[in-house]
Amino acid sequence: MKQLKSNNSLPDLTFATAHYGRNETPMDLRVLIYKGATSVNIGTVFNKISSGRFGKPIDERIELVQRIHNRMNGLLISGGSQKTAVATFYALRVFFRWMDECNIEITAPTIEKNYQQWADSLYSRVLKKQITMRSAATGFGYPVSNVLSAILEKIRPLISTTRLEYSARQKKYPSADKINLVDIFTFGHLLQILVSNLAIKAIFGPIPVRIEIGNDVAWEEWSGLQASDSLVTLSPEYRGDQYQVEIVKSRRAAYENDHSIQTRFPLINLRIQAELLIFIAQTGMNLSQVQELKMMQFSYKSNIDGYQVRDYKNRRKGEVLFEIFSEYRNHFNQYLTWRKEIFGDSSDLLFPVIRKGGISSSPIQFTRIIAICKKANIPYFAPQLLRKTRINWILRKSRDPDLTSDQAQHTKQVLLQVYEEPSFQVAKVEIMQFWKKNDPALQKIGPAPAPGICDGIPAPTSNKPPDAPNPDCIHPSGCLFCKHHRDIDAEDYVWSMESMRHLNALILSGYRPIKKNKTDLGRHVELTLRVLTQKIKWFQSSNSVRKKWVDEALARCAEGSYHPHWKYLIESVKN
């Protein structure tokens, strides 16, 4: 076996765009070029490589490893998940360690055959119940297959040629539609409770921090200490040793009296995890994207029902980072203030997670929140499920795949193939709409006479004034006092309302009651004008976009440009 290349002549096999914690060892594919290096702890292997423990790099492996590196690095540079890259790096080390232990030659021409033999060995371990099929396929086989299939330009993935049972996650239609929004709101309320109970004073105060979840359920956070008396963890032979007991007591007291990040980071991490889940539910971003977000000077630009959040750039607009609902802005600013008090300038990550020794970039595990949910008997919603629920909620509300895919930051094809879930409620509405349109017996139900929409079943509101017009699906004024009438969030609707208001104002200005003992129709018009004015004022004060709609409608009517639905009626009243 040739050993030609010196350590100094090897290509750069690191990943410049990856981010690491203070004590994390960066990914470096040099470990794959030295025989036996993958069997050594990743934290010490490169020192041993430098000392010559594994000899010189094996020349036949360099081309293959460089191609693997190009593929992985390209995915990271193009925005791929670092979590996926780390999983691939780990699986590759397992794969190369197995080949080294079996003394198998590792080259580009032989790697496909090597992979199939390794897959057979994994399958054998599955049969012996040493590992599960899921671990063999998803944990080891698939990540390696993914990168090798790309560099070998395979149409079918390599794993499909083995006995490892891997398949893409199938849609679980019943479970997706059974997501109860009440459950998700309950989960969100729990996250808010965790956030409000983990303020600066509580985190650096006495241990444990007691959190009242509700329904007589409380959770105690011991910040790394054991909830029960530490003395019971002593080995039986030491439990009667007073000296050992005093040592344990002293260490525990010292830990409780240490009000620093080193002892309180479990509490800090719990708050950050809760904030991160709230953030994903608000923005719909991927977990991997959120973990890579940096701290910066955020600026907010008002949007319909929310804000576009940008990186502040002096005298020019920065890139839109994410969009949030308007109600979340104050919460987000409070988190930024809390985060600054904890970390200062020690980390540039928006959601830094602390491990012993420093900030970590490894994937976040929500084990504590899962445990809290289990104790409180509250369903846990993972980041991916939060994102999928939000996307489907927007899709069902808007029925606009283009708008939803833009909000979710992926293509329309990915939205419909991966994220969209069938909805019983949507299907029911669509069936009703179909038969309403095509069943002759239902054709008598038409659009609302007034601007807006309804179901064609007149029913007065509970607070309708006695002398207000009654809803009858004939007279437009009656619609304004019908509980089935609905507004439309659109500029055309505002123009139509303003035109109707203008018409009623003309009618009232020229109206004279005929008989005093009859119902005064002028009162009908007055009440109609009052409701239309209230609606116009609401649109005008709700946000800047709707205010522009109102301003435009007022300008059009002032110029004599009325909505087509009311144009001829207004002209006839004028004449």
- pLDDT the model gives residue 407: 47
Choose the weakest-confidence range: 113-122, 152-161, 350-359, 427-436: 427-436
CA dist., res. 483 & res. 518, Å (int) = 27
d(CA 221, CA 369): 11
Pairing of strands 217-221, 320-325: unpaired
Mean per-residue pLDDT for 11-17? 88
User: Minimal CA–CA distance to 283: which of 381, 402, 408, 401?
Assistant: 408
Q: How far is CA 50 from the centre of its chain?
A: 43
What is the dihedral sign for C-alpha 172, 275, 17, 261? negative
Residues 6+ apart with CB under 8 A from 464: 481
CA distance linking residue 103 with residue 42, whole number of Å: 21
144 — pLDDT class (breaks 50, 70, 90): very high
Least confident of 46-50, 323-327, 330-334, 486-490: 323-327
The two structure tokens encoding residue 372: 């809290």
- Please say if the pLDDT value at position 550 is more than 90: yes
- Reduced to 3 states (helix: H, G, I; strand: E, B; else coil), residue 360 is strand
Rg (CA), the chain: 33
What is the Cα–Cα distance from 187 to 185, expressed in whole angstroms? Answer: 5
pLDDT confidence band for 361 (50 / 70 / 90): low
Angle at which helices 261-283 and 383-398 pack, to 10 degrees?
20
Angle between helices 142-151 and 59-77 (to 10 degrees): 100
pLDDT of residue 62: 92
Q: What are phi and psi of 446, to 5 degrees?
A: -115, -170
Q: Are 88 and 145 in contact (CB under 8 A)?
A: no
Task: Name the packing angle between helices 328-343 and 261-283 (round to 10°).
Answer: 160
**Region of residue 454 (left: phi > 0; alpha: psi -120 to 50; beta: else):** beta
Q: Which of 263, 267, 264, 265 is nearest to 195 (CA)?
A: 267
Range name among 311-320, 409-418, 424-433, 485-494 with the lowest pLDDT average: 409-418
User: What pLDDT sits at residue 358?
Assistant: 64
List, in sequence order, the alpha helices (H) in 439-480.
476-479
First and final CA of the chain: distance in angstroms?
A: 102
Average pLDDT, the chain: 79
Complete DSSP assignment for 29-42: GGGGTSTTGGGS-T
Q: How confident is the model at residue 404 (pLDDT cuts 50, 70, 90)?
A: very low
- Could you tell me whether strands 320-325 and 358-360 are parallel, antiparallel, or unpaired per DSSP bridges? unpaired
**CB under 8 A, 24+ apart: contacts of 331-339:** 331/278, 332/279, 335/195, 335/275, 336/298, 338/199, 338/200, 338/271, 339/295
Which tokens go with 160? Answer: 């499909």
Residues 6+ apart with CB under 8 A from 517: none
Q: What is the DSSP string of 286-345?
A: -HHHHHTPBP--EEEEEETTEEEEEE-BTTB---EEEEEETTHHHHHHHHHHHHHHHHTT
| DSSP for 170-218, written as a single string | PP-HHHHHT--HHHHHHHHHHHHHHHHH--HHHHTSSSSEEEEEETTEE
Residue 398 pLDDT exceeds 80: no
Which of 21-30, 293-302, 337-346: highest mean pLDDT? Answer: 337-346
CB count within 10 Å of CB 572 equals: 9
Identify which has the larger pLDDT, 565 or 170. Answer: 565
| Residues 95-123 pLDDT 10s | 999 999 999 999 999 999 999 999 999 99
**Helix, coil or strand: residue 355:** strand
Specify the pLDDT at position 454: 82
Q: Provide the pLDDT for residue 416.
A: 42
User: 88, 72 in Cβ contact below 8 A?
Assistant: yes
Q: What are phi and psi for residue 19, nearest 5 degrees?
A: -115, 140
Q: Are 543 and 305 in contact (CB under 8 A)?
A: yes
Peptide bond into 401 cis (omega under 30): no
Which DSSP helix (H) or strand (E) runs through 220? strand 217-221
Q: What distance in Å separates the CA atoms of residue 509 and residue 505, rounded to the nearest whole number?
A: 6
- So what's the pLDDT on residue 255? 83
> 221 - beta bridge partners?
209
By C-alpha distance, which of 24, 13, 15 is closest to 361? 24
CA pair distance 152, 566, nearest whole angstrom: 68
Q: Which residue has the higher pLDDT, 79 or 186?
A: 186
Q: What is the DSSP letter of 24?
A: P
